[in-house]
Chain A
Amino acid sequence: MEKAETNFSVQKVKHLADLARIEFSEQELDELTSELNVISDAINKVQEVANDDVERTTHPFALENVFRKDAVGETLEQKSALAAAPKQKDGMFLVPQILAED
């Protein structure tokens, strides 16, 4: 089993926060860092007893193959799709200039 990330550093948490576009104060970063370390320690504790014969669980319910038939259903009208858009133009969402490509 893969170990969870241990020893979150403040830098690492800041990097993750930047990737998630979330701004934190230094105090918040410190708090989050110690909380994340507690969580990862707990996860690793569980990993110690979970041998390779325990299958990974990504879902609380033991479900598989929940499928939908390939049949067209209802769609939103353009007007309602755009209803909450701060800005729109020609039936599209207008977003600010994008700086980096892909």
Chain B
Amino acid sequence: MATEPKNYVDYETALKHFDVVFGIEVHIELSTKTKLFCSAPNAFGAEPNTLISPVSLGLPGALPVLNEKAVEYAIKLGLALNAKINKKSYFARKNYYYPDLTKNYQTSQSDEPTIGEGHLDLQISDTEMFRIDIERAHLEEDAGKNTHVGGAEGRIFGAQYSLVDYNRAGVPLIEIVTKPVFGAGENAPEIIAKYVRELRDIARTLEISDARMERGNVRADINISLSPKGSGKLGIRSETKNVNSFRSIEAAAHYEIIRHASILLEGETVTQETRHWHEATSSTTSGREKSNADDYRYFPEPNLVPVVISDEWIDQIRAEMPELPAHKRARLTKEWGFSPKDMQDVLNADALALVEMTVTHGTSAHNAKKWWLGELSRIAKEASLSLTDLAITPENVAEIQKLIDDGKVNDKIARKIITDVIAGKGTVAEIVANENLEIVSDDSALKKFVQEALAEQPDVAEKLRNGNMQPIGVIIGIVMKKSQGKADAKKVREIILAEK
């Protein structure tokens, strides 16, 4: 058995010899106001151990009571995943010892989860769909958060002690488990990332989670195994835990495929284990062996009664379902006159909601895309922020574009306004007024600048008069300078032609 190969083959070689089989477990933290089994707040970023109750601390005698909203959210997600909503489901105790778990068991669901089999279809090219079959989705509570102190870079190994904050303990999670997925071939890493992204988008659309990857609202565990090409046999799997960006998900799957193939081609057997992803080195390292450690001794939770879901409840939720992301993308692509690539670019930039809201505020889709994928992406990248974290709203962007459309500012000034809004210098209107940024469109002022420029450049003026338009840029440049960049170049050109 081996955890690391002696040499790594390349991706193509791996795919030439093996079929990839994968399974994905995604945990989504629900955005209910309170926890799954008690009324302590479900919130991010509070002082440690302040969002807790006797139930979240697992104090003796504290009894759980199920949050109805969490069940409603599970049903919503189940409907979005074309899944069977089980009429009757139960909670169970999953027993294991770890300091982030106050009761020494996690309250979860075992053989009768709330959501049963379903599927999600992913668009993998303009014409092709790929179906991911879902095994189940169950409700469970999140654990607390350990901070390991004393080890290298906060890692557990070599840590002297750990500090535990139970604010997250009891936060509702839905874990969505796929069936083993075959036939993705070389696109497996991309499809895995796409699947997690689609779940993220669905969770956001349903408003059941903030679904922020960087906050761990969505966490993916990726199971990979390889089987000899065409054999149809399931290989031994590894499970890469808690990879929390789409890019890392793709990279981790890619890495694991290569690692497995390399071990197998050396005639070794892959060790069944968990793996940990490291962003810095783009590689995984061995976690713990999984063979017999998973003895969780599930048993029914005696303090919680069965959840019974009526058809009426399901129908009521179904009636309130919003438009799902896949449908919306198809509709907007058409409405906006986008090519599939245009839409893909917007999606890759995670800018669909921003572009859509900008369009709602009156900007054309083309211009909205231009700002968010151009200037604003550049600024965000420079500041290492995501687009949504920029201190500018789609409404602001729409206002600025309107100033351009109305001929009140030019493109260059618009960029300056954007920078100023983000720098917190005020609203768009304030910035335009305070800094006197509106374009000089007063004909007499521009005319004066043009006359001055022509007088300063008699040679150029002469050429223009003789019909040689080539040096017209020189005059435009001087006028722009005189107007401090606020002149509309097109208008200046018209005036020069009249005044030469």
Binding site for B on A (CB under 8 A): 15-16, 19-21, 56, 58-59, 61, 63-78, 81-82, 89-98, 100-102
Contacts and interface: CB of A to CB of B under 8 A. Distances in A.
Contacts of B51: 75
B52 A75 contact: yes
Interface stretch (B41-49, B174-182, B314-322, B389-397): B41-49
Contacts of A98: 98-99, 146, 148, 156, 159, 162
B305 A64 contact: yes
Contacts of B98: 98, 102
Interface of B: 32-34, 38-41, 47-54, 57, 65-71, 88, 90, 95, 97-99, 146-148, 156-157, 159-166, 241, 274, 276, 287-288, 295, 297, 300-302, 304-308
A72 B39 contact: yes
Contacts of A89: 163
Contacts of A82: 49
A81 B57 contact: yes
A70 B241 contact: no
Contacts, number: 141
Which of B90, B164, B287, B306 has the most chain A CB atoms inside 10 A of its CB? Answer: B306
A74 B288 CA distance: 39
Given A94-B163, A95-B163, 12 more contacts: A59-B302, A64-B308, A72-B40, A73-B53, A75-B41, A75-B50, A91-B48, A94-B164, A96-B161, A98-B146, A98-B156, A101-B287
B274 A102 contact: yes
A32 to B, nearest CB: 15
Report the 3 A-B pairs with minimum CB-CB distance, sorted nearest first. A73-B39, A67-B68, A70-B69
- Chain A interface SS verdict (over half): loop
Contact of A67 (B38, B66, B90, B95): B66
Contact of B164 (A56, A70, A77, A92): A92
A71 B33 contact: yes
Given A58-B300, A58-B306, A67-B68, A73 B287 contact: no
A95 B145 CA distance: 12
A95 B66 contact: no
A19 B66 contact: no
Contact of B297 (A19, A59, A66): A19
Given A65-B307, A73-B53, A92-B49, A102 B288 contact: yes
A16 to B, nearest CB: 7
Contact of A102 (B67, B241, B295): B241
A91 B52 CA distance: 13
A7 to B, nearest CB: 18
Contacts of A75: 40-41, 50-53
11 contacts: A58-B302, A59-B302, A63-B305, A65-B306, A73-B34, A76-B54, A91-B47, A91-B50, A97-B160, A101-B274, A102-B241
